[in-house]
Structure 1
Amino acid sequence: MIRLGLRDWDHVVPLATGMVGVAGFTVRVDSRDVTPDVLAEPSLDGGETSFSRYVQARAAGDDRLVGLPAFVMRGFRQRCVLVRADSPLRSLGELAGARIGLTGWPDSGNTWTRALLRAEGVDLTGVEWRVGPLVLGESGKDRLGSRPLPSYVSAMAEGESLEEELAAGRLDAILTPFMPRELFTPASRFRHLLHDHRAAERDYWAATGFVPGIHLVTLKREIVEAHPALPGALLAGLERSKRRWVERRRLLADTTPWLLGELTESALLFGDDWMPYGAEPNAEMTRAFCEELYAQGIWPEPIDPGVVFPEAALATVPADSALLTAPAAVPAALPAV
């Protein structure tokens, strides 16, 4: 039994529920509300891991986790910058010298978002950065990382939250991967900085050819050494799960009234797969991320992208992965997700 800790991403549900399997292995997926610390949980063989923290570990020579180039959390970041509804700010470049709150300093998603600001000429060292929870009561997250914070970054005080600091005008903007609940209401105090973030994201895709990776799946090295075939088999299983989800959603387009149109538009823009697995399809994205970690001072020296996914077996996903939709072994007593 291989036990993984993952949040219940839609495209992982077929694997978690046993609709697809991992050849030669029985896999149990434990659904999590927050990203697990895989190394800190003896009962886990692997699970969802921050791309930033994983890359930093590999750059430091720490190979206790074997990363699979399967980014279960992935997304454009232009949508992740919020301001007050009455804010005069309308562009990323206008955030130069601003007071900006964010949910975690070394976080993968926030690193990608800060890269957008850098691309618009914003000097990150001239911004007053404050790190804290989006809403009060959030816990179970390392927001500051293991390295000393730069002088222009500070942690929020106990009892403060990004939502309320922004609403009170003590912040000009916030960076958050997840949206405040009130953003989905007519009376929201907040809005996206970019009025048409979708157009900005299309332009980003045209310029880079990738959607930024945020979290990936990792396995503990001891389980890989005991089962050398596991990384490749699990990568293929995750690919089957993703393909199964797409097939079912194209048939049962029930998530939103317009999901079928979204799926069609995405296929026409991105091709058959907007979130490819494998080291080779993600090589340019991995290189760009390593460069940003160094450029933003998250890591003190340049990072060789080759240390991130050195395993040759993970370069690409087996060509027949999308065709093997039947589970190789039925997982026992899987939790609902």
Structure 2
Amino acid sequence: MPNLPLTLGCWDYDRVQALMDGRVRPEGIDLTFLNMVVEETFFRMLRNREFDVSEMSMSSYLVSLTKPDRPFVAIPVFPSRFFRHSCIYVNADAGIDSPADLVGKRFGCPEYQMTAPVWIRGILSDHYGVPVDGPTYVTGGEEEPNRQEKVPLDLPPNFRVERIGPTDTLAQMLADGRIDAFHTARKPSTYDGVRVKRLFPDYVEVEKAYWRDTGIFPIMHVVAIRREVYEANRWIAMNLFQAFREAQRLTYEGLKETAALKGMLPWFNAHVEETFDTMGDDFWPYGVEPNRATLDTFLRYHHEQGLSPHKLSVDDMFAPETLEEFVI
């Protein structure tokens, strides 16, 4: 029986390099790896379903689960994780000296449904007392005009979301003071530490304290399979999951290599040692159970922010075959 050909849209992270170069091959699958930046991958998969499998915004995936056709099925592989306290920017003249000052302000974000802003809004609410419906949210392109929500939204009326003008960009509006703050996944081009500053200048220490307090390393992306592809070949969910995990295992091994620097940072090995010491040997876990508390927190945020009409369950997120693992 020939292997099943599948296309995978994903960025070229270190944890997927072995899938890209063929050192790891999912059993029974001929995988064509399409290396693209995340915005392109998400847009093409969510709008046009162009790939069999793809990296996907976790928030947009959850929005898709509220649609009648539920077009995708995810596996518990998380290509992107990111502490996001560093990703809150403010205009220096907006009078924002602490998170509490965000209430009543105009808060930009490229898309209301983006995973990074969902985490940021939830963290600000849980840990700093900023109600998720306190600011006015202003959406549109960060560096180029006319960015749209990838999946149409129907938000409750207590959330104030406005679109920027057809020639405006959020990065420039922040520098000009036309928005007071900005939460995003990418550092805006207008960030200079003077006119545009971070809300948390000492974000590394703030994020380490958040990890110590919560044990949460925020998940940004999942891996999703088109539902019709999955339903016709349900075995691919576990085979892909195992392949992604093997590719990640090889990356962990590479991080521990000390004969030469695996990354280009001068103190790369020191960063690696600190991370293992602080967060443990499997600091970027795949699978459901090691991530249940993190996922459940995000599902609560997603519902509280009007993006899902009811709180979804962790088990509903993933292919049933991947919820439990067999032991030999």
Q: 1:228 and 1:134, CA in 2 relative to 1: closer, same or farther beyond 3 A?
A: same
Distance in 2 between residues matched to 1:176 and 1:288, nearest whole Å: 19
Tell me how many residue pairs correspond in the alignment. Answer: 316
Structure 2 stretches lacking a partner, 5+ long: none
Aligned pairs (5 A) from 1:144-155: 145-148=152-155, 150=157, 152-155=160-163
Give the structure 2 partner of residue 26 of structure 1: 30
> RCO greater where, 1 or 2, for CA within 8 Å and sep 6 or more?
1
Give the structure 2 partner of residue 54 of structure 1: 61
Distance in 2 between residues matched to 1:78 and 1:213, nearest whole Å: 14
* 1:78 aligned to which of 78, 82, 85: 85
CA shift for structure 1 position 191: 2.6
Structure 1 position 213 matched with structure 2 position 197: no
CA shift for structure 1 position 201: 1.2
Give the structure 2 partner of residue 263 of structure 1: 272
Contact kept in structure 2, 1:294 and 1:302, CA below 8 Å: yes
Distance in 2 between residues matched to 1:60 and 1:127, nearest whole Å: 27
Q: 1:144 and 1:121, CA in 2 relative to 1: closer, same or farther beyond 3 A?
A: farther
AA in 2 matched with 1:19: R
Give the structure 2 partner of residue 240 of structure 1: 246
CA shift for structure 1 position 101: 0.6
Give the structure 2 partner of residue 14 of structure 1: 18
Distance in 2 between residues matched to 1:38 and 1:254, nearest whole Å: 31
Distance in 2 between residues matched to 1:137 and 1:282, nearest whole Å: 36
Structure 1 position 108 matched with structure 2 position 112: no
- 3-state SS, counterpart of residue 213 of structure 1: coil
Contact kept in structure 1, 2:142 and 2:170, CA below 8 Å: yes
CA shift for structure 1 position 68: 0.8
- 3-state SS, counterpart of residue 287 of structure 1: helix
Distance in 1 between residues matched to 2:212 and 2:226, nearest whole Å: 36
- 3-state SS, counterpart of residue 246 of structure 1: helix
CA shift for structure 1 position 62: 3.8
**CA offsets 1:70-101 (integer angstroms, 9 cap, x no match):** 11111111111012356653432221222211
TM-score of the superposition, structure 2-length normalised? 0.87
Give the structure 2 partner of residue 332 of structure 1: none
CA shift for structure 1 position 168: 0.7
* 1:126 aligned to which of 131, 134, 145: 134
Contact kept in structure 1, 2:7 and 2:31, CA below 8 Å: yes
CA shift for structure 1 position 115: 0.5
CA RMSD of aligned residues (A): 2.5
Q: 1:50 and 1:16, CA in 2 relative to 1: closer, same or farther beyond 3 A?
A: same
* 2:314 aligned to which of 298, 301, 305: 305
Give the structure 1 partner of residue 76 of structure 2: 69
Contact kept in structure 1, 2:237 and 2:319, CA below 8 Å: no
Give the structure 2 partner of residue 333 of structure 1: none
Distance in 2 between residues matched to 1:318 and 1:192, nearest whole Å: 46
Give the structure 1 partner of residue 96 of structure 2: 89
Distance in 2 between residues matched to 1:71 and 1:109, nearest whole Å: 14
Contact kept in structure 1, 2:75 and 2:319, CA below 8 Å: no
The more displaced of 264-273 and 253-262 is: 253-262
CA shift for structure 1 position 227: 2.5
AA in 2 matched with 1:238: F
Q: Percent identity?
A: 27
Q: 1:26 and 1:281, CA in 2 relative to 1: closer, same or farther beyond 3 A?
A: same
CA shift for structure 1 position 56: 2.6
TM-score of the superposition, structure 1-length normalised? 0.85
CA shift for structure 1 position 175: 0.3
CA shift for structure 1 position 133: 1.5
AA in 2 matched with 1:9: Y
